[in-house]
């Protein structure tokens, strides 16, 4: 990276913000009590670092389950604005979209985000929880489990990601991170702070972050095809401007009650405010023009999430502990848009007004009892209860006339979840550890709309889980892992409600969307195998194999109903997903003596899948990337307090057949990222980073080929390099 690349950060407002932060640091240092005089060295050396990676490596090696942990160093290394950008570098995880920009679907084991269970402090994440709105600065660690444990839940066909918010370390903590992001000629500030302390039996910590969002996004869509009316060829140019803020606050208070007993309150509040404006213009190069093809629009919205959790840890005896939790969550989101359909001269022909207001309330309670017979054997049992109420009000008007009179504009959904589980964790031999778990879970749902239409839904699942690790004889660092699990995926409430969302221009590539009240849960049987070889200096080589057999797989089908194209989820028989994963990290001197102490890391994931109900070729699951590769390097200079690193990622996508008539394809992605960390003072450091340095265009293609109609749509959107400069202060 050159200085010219970071010239946007050398503007007066940015420099002023950093100077103010440095002044605050200097003021805090000056206000501190003076200690004994110490000799002043001519030139300060590199700041000592505490390397805790080895302990995390040991924790992974000793665990009886498939579990990886990302600590603070992994979370902050590249100065990412969201947790989603952190996860895209992790082995076995693929994130679509562009680093540093909003959106992007996460997949594990080649399966999309709907198959990944997202937890916040061990509890299901709130509705509308988005990883690209969560700052890494409020997170202490992330646990990634490719095979579930029954206490964390088995609605995790692909795996589980558990996000742990920051917790008090038992000592005074004061940190401030002020930074600026820059892409596409726009600079956006980001700020986060942490404050915590402890007095006798009371400890508290508050973390907060805020980030400005801004994006200018052009899109080019080409639509070609033919039918009974002859060939068509259209070109749609769109431009969208997004502006907004997202923020979060996570306070935590712990009261020690004696011994290991404690009462903890964890709060989490996050908000999002946005507005956007844009236009679309269509050129009809061949074939007859369609109505409402040009538009000018504006939209705005907001969301607020408030969660409170109270947990009580009680020591019942020398071998038994009880943890009781109670929580309440409130989520409120609203959005509205106004679309003016115009002619070639910009005159308004029709106006569409859309609005949606969603309110979600939930209460939860759980109890977990842990009995430790020995330090090598523990039995855990628990119960969970959750009640959730969701209400959606929506409107869709064209020239003040409602389009929802026949489908409903108000929906109420009540759902209940009950679960019982038990798990046994036992080192049954010096080199063999065993995990056995069994979970029963039932989910019931009742929905009704303003037209008096009601629907009931209830499903239950019994999920056994087995995980074991065998530490190979005559070795100190080689082991084999095995995982077997019965998992499932409950449909989202929106997928079960039959209310329809109407497309203004209804075509096979722009259909209406509808839920399906007869949708059944997906059920899967999973097998995971892994070989792990641990090296010195936190080195690792891991090779894994996995397979998932999915019953009642859910696919979206587009069909013609009453003269309109409608897309809805349907159960479509069985699917098989399988793959290979490879992960390695080591230091270069371990490979070549006398080489610089560069830490190298690499990960590869190769996946295959097939859907029985879809004819081949390419009848794989739609969100699956067949190949993903990440390679990276980090190096800490000895002569100066500077460290740097880079990561290169590649995702091969290709074409997918979704049904007999439908296909989709996405361009391959190459992502280059880099960072430089400069320790200016013992408690002050500057982090410079860049992502999406290759800024390749994103291309998506969908197609439909029927008996009398064929149509393809190609959407091309450019991407931009994202540069960051962050000043980090510890007081």
**Residues linked to residue 34 through DSSP beta bridges, in sequence order:** none
Strand runs (DSSP E) across 21-108, as ranges? 68-70, 93-95, 106-108
- Which residue has tokens 């499932």? 488
Q: Which pLDDT value is given to residue 185?
A: 82
pLDDT, residue 56, reads: 62
How far apart CA 27 and CA 357 sit, in angstroms, is 47
Lowest mean pLDDT among 357-366, 640-649, 651-660: 651-660
Cα torsion angle, 226, 230, 233, 238, sign: negative
- Give backbone dihedrals phi and psi of 138, rounded to 5 degrees, phi first: -100, 5
Quick check: 8 pLDDT over 80? no
Q: 598 burial class (0-12, 13-18, 19+ CB within 10 angstroms)?
A: middle
Asked whether residue 218 carries a pLDDT value surpassing 50, the answer given is yes
pLDDT confidence tier of residue 536, bands split at 50, 70 and 90: confident
8 A C-beta contact, residue 310 and residue 263: yes
> How far are the Cα atoms of 50, 637, 647, 678, 708 from residue 589, in angstroms, in the given order?
21, 15, 20, 24, 64
Q: Are 417 and 384 in contact (CB under 8 A)?
A: yes
Q: Which of the four pLDDT bands, split at 50, 70 and 90, describes residue 55? A: low
pLDDT at 660 > cutoff 80: yes
Q: What percent of the chain has pLDDT over 90?
A: 67
First-to-final CA distance of the chain:
30
The b/e string for 668-694 (b: 16+ C-beta within 10 A; e otherwise) is ebebbbbbbbebbeebbbbbbbbbbbe
- Asked whether residue 631 carries a pLDDT value surpassing 90, the answer given is yes
The region that residue 423 occupies, defined by phi over 0 for left and psi between -120 and 50 for alpha, beta otherwise, is beta
Q: What is the spatial distance between Cα 421 and Cα 486, in angstroms, rounded to a whole number?
A: 14
Q: How many Å apart are CA 122 and CA 486, to the nearest integer? A: 20
- Residue 345 in this model has a pLDDT that exceeds 70: yes
Which residue would you say has higher pLDDT here, 38 or 692? Answer: 692
The alpha carbon of residue 157 and the mean position of all alpha carbons in its chain are separated, in whole angstroms, by 16
């Amino acid at each position: 990276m050159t200085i010219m690349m970071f010239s946007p950060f050398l503007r007066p407002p940015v420099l002023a913000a950093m100077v103010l932060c440095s002044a605050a640091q200097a003021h805090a240092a000056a206000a501190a009590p003076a200690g004994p005089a110490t000799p002043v060295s001519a030139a300060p050396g590199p700041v000592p670092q505490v390397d805790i990676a080895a302990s995390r490596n040991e924790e992974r090696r000793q665990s009886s389950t498939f579990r990886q942990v990302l600590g603070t160093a992994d979370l902050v290394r590249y100065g990412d604005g969201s947790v989603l950008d952190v996860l895209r570098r992790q082995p076995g995880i693929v994130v679509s979209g562009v680093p540093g920009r909003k959106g992007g679907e996460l997949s594990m084991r080649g399966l999309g985000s709907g198959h990944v269970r997202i937890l916040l402090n061990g509890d299901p994440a709130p509705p509308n929880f988005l990883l690209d709105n969560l700052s890494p600065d409020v997170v202490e660690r992330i646990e990634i489990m490719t095979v579930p444990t029954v206490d964390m839940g088995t609605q995790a066909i692909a795996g589980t990601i558990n996000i742990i918010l920051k917790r008090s370390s038992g000592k005074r903590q004061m940190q401030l991170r002020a930074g600026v992001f820059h892409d596409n000629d726009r600079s956006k500030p980001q700020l986060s702070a942490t404050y915590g302390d402890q007095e006798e039996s009371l400890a508290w910590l508050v973390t907060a972050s805020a980030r400005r969002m801004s994006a200018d996004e052009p899109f080019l869509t080409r639509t070609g095809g033919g039918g009974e009316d002859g060939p068509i060829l259209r070109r749609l140019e769109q431009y969208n401007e997004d502006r907004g803020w997202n923020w979060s606050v996570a306070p935590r208070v712990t009261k020690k009650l004696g011994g290991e007993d404690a009462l903890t309150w964890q709060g989490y509040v996050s908000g999002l405010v946005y507005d956007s404006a844009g236009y679309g213009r269509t050129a009809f190069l061949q074939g007859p023009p369609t109505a409402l093809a040009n538009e000018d629009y504006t939209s705005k919205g907001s969301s607020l999430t408030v969660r409170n959790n109270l947990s009580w840890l009680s020591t019942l005896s020398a071998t038994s502990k009880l943890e009781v939790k109670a929580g309440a969550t409130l989520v409120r989101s609203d959005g509205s848009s106004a679309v003016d359909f115009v002619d070639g001269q910009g005159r308004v022909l029709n106006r569409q007004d859309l609005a949606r207001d969603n309110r979600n309330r939930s209460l939860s309670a759980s109890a977990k009892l842990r009995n430790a017979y020995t330090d090598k054997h523990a039995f855990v049992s628990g119960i969970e209860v959750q009640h959730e109420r969701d209400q959606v009000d929506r409107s869709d008007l064209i020239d003040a006339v409602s389009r929802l009179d026949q489908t409903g504009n108000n929906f109420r959904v009540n759902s209940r979840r009950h679960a019982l589980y038990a798990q046994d964790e036992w080192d049954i031999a010096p080199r063999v550890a065993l995990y056995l778990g069994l979970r029963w879970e039932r989910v019931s749902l009742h929905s009704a709309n303003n037209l008096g239409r009601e629907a009931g839904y209830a499903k239950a699942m019994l999920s056994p889980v087995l995980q074991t690790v065998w530490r190979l004889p005559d070795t100190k660092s080689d082991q084999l892992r095995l995982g077997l699990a019965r998992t499932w995926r409950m449909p989202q409430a929106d997928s079960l409600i039959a209310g329809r969302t109407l497309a203004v221009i209804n075509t096979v590539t722009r259909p209406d969307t509808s839920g399906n009240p007869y949708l059944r849960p997906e059920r899967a049987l999973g097998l995971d195998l892994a070989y792990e070889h641990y090296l010195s200096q936190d080195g690792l080589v891991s090779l894994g194999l996995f397979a998932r057999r999915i019953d009642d797989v859910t696919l979206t089908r587009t069909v013609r109903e009453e003269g309109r194209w409608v897309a809805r989820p349907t159960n479509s028989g069985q699917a098989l997903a399988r793959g290979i994963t490879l992960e390695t990290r080591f230091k270069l001197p371990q490979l070549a003596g006398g080489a610089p102490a560069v830490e190298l890391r690499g990960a590869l994931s190769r996946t295959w899948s097939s859907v029985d109900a879809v004819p081949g070729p390419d009848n794989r699951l739609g969100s699956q990337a067949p190949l993903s590769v990440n390679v990276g390097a980090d190096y800490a200079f000895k002569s100066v307090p500077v460290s740097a690193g880079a990561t290169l990622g590649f995702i091969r996508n290709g074409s997918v057949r979704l049904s007999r008539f439908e296909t989709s394809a996405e361009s391959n992605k190459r992502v280059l990222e880099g960072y430089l960390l400069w320790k200016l003072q013992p408690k002050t450091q500057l982090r410079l980073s860049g992502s999406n340095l290759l800024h390749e265009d994103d291309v998506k293609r969908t197609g439909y080929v029927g008996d009398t109609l064929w149509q393809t749509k190609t959407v091309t959107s450019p991407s931009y390099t994202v540069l960051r400069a962050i000043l980090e202060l510890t007081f």
